[in-house]
Structure 1
Amino acid sequence: MIFESPHPPITVPEESFSDYLLGSLGDRRDKAAFIEGPTGRRVTYGELRDQAAAAARCLAARGLERGGVVAICSPNVPEYATAFHATAMAGGCSTTLNPLNTEDELVKQVNDSGARWYITIPPLLDTARSVAGRTSIEEIIVFGEADGATAFADVIAAGMGSDASEPMGVEDPREDLLTLPYSSGTTGLSKGVMLTHRNVVANIEQISSVGLVEPDDVVMAVVPFFHIYGMVVVMSGALRAGATVVTMPRFDLVAFLETIQRDRATCLYLVPPIVLALAKHPVVDNYDLSSVKWIMSGAAPLGEEAAVACQERIGCRVFQGYGMTEASPVTHLCFGENVAADKISTVGPTIPSTEMLIVDLESGEPLGPGEEGEVWLRGPQVMKGYLGNPEATAETVDAGGWLHSGDVAVADEDGYMTIVDRAKELIKYKGYQVAPAELEDLLLSHPSVADVAVIPMPDEEAGEIPKACVVRAGDVSEEALLEYVAERVAPQKKVRVVEFLDEIPKSASGKILRRVLVERERAARSRAG
């Protein structure tokens, strides 16, 4: 059976992303769109739109054409949104980079995306220069000022000139790419997810119709904008509502609590580790969080115990959502005053104009309420495909338009979904995707590693941590392998535990039997406690 959304269907506006969010400001022109958390600096809606349009004209004059790619590598600052909209207004596409990625990881994404401009912050300039030297980057632009790089303020100023011409802009919202985030999909290495203007506009319209954010709300932006959750749900969803977004460049619990108290934040979009901190850390009691109306947790499953503890301590409802980068990202939301308490561990039903199937893992046959199977999804927010990878696209989105999520779930009679497992191999560390295949390739490059399988290991704070099951080819310690990986990957990808085995279980075709290793890990933890 197809699980339909309980919400009325939407009509997707046939507009570009920036026209949809900033085309008509009305009485919002002088209202704060962004507040910079650490400094209190404000950027109004009018300044955001005017500066983005000016930067778009300058980028177009520098050669950014329809389909051209701009890489943005920055923590959350108000200018992030300005640069993102400027690229979109010029008809270009943003690929968003994790500032914590290693140089090799950044180079790989920049080369794969074909980016020609690189926008960053002064403290990351040395890395940006190194990346530019190994890629097709033609110009480095910084938020602020730094020797040897173009100041973003100068880009805006150049576009403000009377002789600046209008850029090409967006021709077809259904086909033109807005953003190119990278995702490992259901397995394997990271791939560019092609999201069109229509994909993202549809998703913002879908989540807005559920009624999360209101014009008077103050939304905390601690989820990074380079992540699809931060980019679409937090940054863009709040702008659509006409709310104010408070940016935090990194998560620090005390600074986070101080900012909520200072700016009277009403809406908190979080990930499970932060929800857990709000539920358990003693310092929380030192701050007035009475302004908070609700907390929405996403990017990874949130346990019922942590959700209830946070809800009782903060005094507001805690909800969950679900989605994938390949779905722009939201497909499910559990939200509303009338949501029953026993639904707190669910991610809710599908959002408007989104269909769901729960299918048998073996046969692919549709299942009904109460039956566990893989989640398939269909709606206007589903990606155009993976960049330059038609095979992976076909494996993920079938001919019927169904996006195969790789997640195993069960839906109740009301269509409220609970994630119970993952058919896909990805590890979710604090909401970040970690692909086992990438870590396995890296470990196999070590001369003392003969074979390896990386699996998720449960962790209360992080959700899951990567564990490497290693067959040695020589004398090597756990500490040496942990250090070997840590030197070569971003922090969230570090292997945290190594176990040495005599062999890795594999199928007749040579495929790693991860479920065998995962069940073995569960059994060992059960015996231990």
Structure 2
Amino acid sequence: MIYDSKYSAAAIPENLDVHTVVFGRELRASNKTALVDALTGTRVSYRQMLADIDALVDALYGTLRFKKWDVVAVLSPNHMQYPIVVHAIIKAGGTVSPANPTYNHSEFAFQLEDSGAKFIFVHPAVLSVALAAAKQVGIPESRIILFNDSSVSYPGPARRTISQISSENTKAAPTVTFSRKDVMTKPAYLCYSSGTTGLPKGVETTHYNIISNVLQFEAYQKNRREVYSGDVFTGHLRDDFGTSLVFPKYELELFLKSLQKYQVTVSHIVPPILLQIAKSPIVNQYKFPKLRAFMSGAAPLAPELCHAIYDKLGVFVHQGFGLTETSPITHMLPQSLCLKFPSSIGHLIPNVQARLVSPETGLDVAPTKEGELWIRGPNVMKGYHNNPKATAESIDQDGWFHTGDIAIVDENGLFYIVDRLKELIKYKGFQVAPAELEAYLLEHPAIADVAVIGRADEVGGEIPRAFVVLKVWCVLSMILPKLKLQQRQPNVKCTEGEIIQFIDAKVSPHKKLRGGVEFVNEIPKSASGKILRRILREKDAETVKKLKAKLPC
């Protein structure tokens, strides 16, 4: 059964690029505020933002010798220049490849090499990561450009900033045009996602995909004049809807002060922050007369949390759903249903279709029955970069993207995510690929086999937990410490703490083994050798249940 959106379809052009659609003519001369720095109060108008974008486009071509379709990596926490850099790259005809600012140099180097990035724009706070990664993949330091931020010092010689390459430039960029074929096939973004399984893959999001989702969301919202706060650094074009509040760093008190000071009307937020708001007594010190809604995504949302926020602030929490591969939004829950159906991800947004399919039979399931959520629409990615096998496994010949999420549709046409086929772990909205952690753990000299799962956690949503099979020599050395073994490595410890330290040194913070390590005799696997994570999740859930039973009431 094919489910269609209940909303009227949005008209989506096939011959316009992202910059043209997002920044219409009326914004070019607008003094309306586009961006506000929540920390300093600095404001940037649309007119100034567009002037900065144009200057950077000129510098890309004139100073850096950028070429159309070059991939440019961006490594930075939230910053006022982030959307300017992103939109300049796109307007210049390039592809933006944003990277997680918590990455270590090995993780960033993988993305640089896989994406084929030619240039790096980086915040001074993470310059050391960019330098090490660039050296590893052969990107010259002359192609590394710093965000302007005098508040952050960095080691080594002075390096060129965005302002400097703009002031050095004396040439205007050539007029960049986009054909219909370019709009439909060339990626504007190359974000990295673990997809349904395995290591991170580059998601090719075309101009048409991005334009589609902007106009789909606009058709759903029907209100383009909002003051937003949220994750502006992702570059997902919220500029078009009003003023965006940029948080260089997250602190609860700063967040609350800003909601009040700037009279924010809608805030994009993740469940861990909502949990903080629900539990913290300092929230009562602030008033939010204009705040109408929190838009929540990236992780599951407990119904009790939605009600707690409404009871405390009188603000609705809208749950939605989407994926990097769908540019990203596919579902939104209307405000009128937020309290009645808080567990629901809502209805399909305009122009999106869905199916629920049995993973066992490949056939559509009956209404109200569980099935894998398949999505089709103009916002579905082109595919995975240089990975036709993964693309073919995710998008079938009829254009259906297989999400790996198990969902149901109730009698009201509302969708609910109830389980996950895919292996992905979500910690505070960040993706963690078990296969990546397993590969690192197998480098440990004492580990023979390993499997990683996500353990449910109130604050983080899920936290990575490893099941480890130790090598025989390690087990024997613990039982008989004086026994002389040829394979024994005296400097290697086989403890939970040592293994956690080993992996923590190799990965970014959100990938740490916060769920701990459990030693087992074997990893359950299918006849073909596939890890049976469901069995491990059930085993771990039983362990957690027993631990809770022992706690005092």
Query: 1:357 is matched with which residue?
Result: 355
| Counterpart check, 1:166 vs 2:174 | yes
The residue number in structure 2 matching 1:368 is: 366
CA spacing shift, 1:403–1:367, aligned 2, 3 Å: same
TM-score (norm 2): 0.90
Q: Hey, what does 2:539 align to over in structure 1?
A: 520
Match of residue 325 from structure 1: 324
Select which of 123, 140, 156 maps to 1:121.
123
Q: In the alignment, is the contact (CA less than 8 A) between 1:35 and 1:247 conserved in 2?
A: yes
Question: Once the 2 structures are TM-superposed, how far is the Cα of residue 204 of structure 1 from its aligned partner?
Answer: 0.8
1:149 alignment partner AA: R
Deviation at residue 154 of structure 1 after TM alignment: 2.4
| Cα gap change, 1:513 to 1:115, in 2 (>3 Å) | same
Mapped contact 1:75–1:224 kept (Cα < 8 A): no
1:361/1:374 contact within 8 Å kept? yes
Aligned to 2:488: none
| C-alpha displacement of 1:301 | 1.0
Structure 1 unmatched runs, 5+: none
1:318 and 1:521 mapped to 2: Cα distance?
31
**C-alpha displacement of 1:167:** 4.6
Q: CA deviation at 1:368?
A: 2.8
Alignment of 1:35 with 2:36, yes or no, is yes
Shift of 1:148: 3.5
After TM superposition, give the deviation of residue 27 of structure 1 in Å.
8.2
Q: Which residue of 1 aligns with 2:513?
A: 495
Structure 2 CA distance for partners of 1:136 and 1:213, relative to 1, 3 Å: farther
How far, CA to CA, are the matches of 1:214 and 1:283 in structure 2? 32
2:48 equivalent in structure 1 = 47
- What is the distance in 2 between the residues matched to 1:412 and 1:28? 47
Q: In terms of mean alpha carbon deviation, does 166-175 or 353-362 score higher?
A: 166-175
Q: Determine the C-alpha separation between the residues in 2 that align with 1:25 and 1:6.
A: 31
Cα distance between partner residues in 1 of 2:27 and 2:101: 35
Shift of 1:93: 0.4
CA contact (8 A) 1:506 1:513 kept: yes
Corresponding residue number in structure 2 for 1:275: 274
Pick one of 470, 473, 478 that aligns with 1:472. 470
CA distance in 2 between counterparts of 1:286 and 1:249 reads 23
Deviation of residue 28 (structure 1)? 6.3
Structure 1 stretch displaced more, 356-365 or 123-132? 123-132
Contact 1:290 1:314 in 2 (8 A): no
Aligned residue identity for 2:36: I
Shift of 1:224: 6.0
Please list, as runs of the form range in 1=range in 2, the aligned pairs for 1:416-427 lying within 5 A after superposition: 416-427=414-425
Query: How many residues are treated as equivalent by the alignment?
Result: 515
Are positions 1:140 and 2:137 aligned together?
Answer: no
Partner of 1:482: 500
Q: What residue number does 2:5 align with?
A: 5
Change (3 A) 1:170 1:150: farther
TM-score, normalised via structure 1 length: 0.94
The structure 2 residue matched to 1:220, chosen from 216, 222, 229, is 229
The alignment yields a C-alpha RMSD, in angstroms, of 1.6
Alignment partner of 1:152 out of 159, 162, 178:
162
1:194 maps to 2:204: yes
Q: 2: CA distance between counterparts of 1:213 and 1:158?
A: 41
Deviation track 1:241-279 (CA, whole Å, cap 9, x = no partner) reads 2x1001002221111111112211111101110111111
Taking the TM superposition and a 5 Å limit, the aligned residue runs for 1:232-247 are 232=236, 236=237, 238-241=238-241, 243-247=242-246
| Structure 2: distance between partners of 1:175 and 1:117 | 22
User: Quick one: percent identity of the two aligned structures?
Assistant: 39
Measure the CA separation in 1 of the matches of 2:511 and 2:199.
13
Aligned with 1:124: secondary structure? helix
- Structure 2: gaps (5+ residues): 479-493
CA distance in 2, matches of 1:23, 1:148: 38
Between 1:18-27 and 1:82-91, the stretch displaced more is 18-27
SS at match of 1:414: coil
Instruction: Work out the CA distance in 2 between the residues paired with 1:417 and 1:154.
Output: 50
Q: How does 1:369-388 map to 2 (within 5 A)?
A: 369-388=367-386
CA contact under 8 A between 2:318 and 2:338: conserved in structure 1?
A: no
**2:25 maps to which residue?**
24
* Distance in 2 of aligned mates of 1:213 and 1:255: 27
The separation in 1 between residues aligned to 2:201 and 2:29, in whole angstroms, is: 38
SS where residue 141 of structure 1 aligns?
strand
The equivalent of 1:316 in structure 2 is 315
Q: Report which of the two structures shows the higher radius of gyration computed on alpha carbons.
A: 2
Q: 1:148 to 1:117 in 2, by over 3 A?
A: farther
CA deviations 1:455-496 (Å, max 9, x no partner) are: 110000001000001111225111111111111001000111
**Change in CA separation of 1:390 and 1:402 when aligned onto 2, cut-off 3 Å:** same
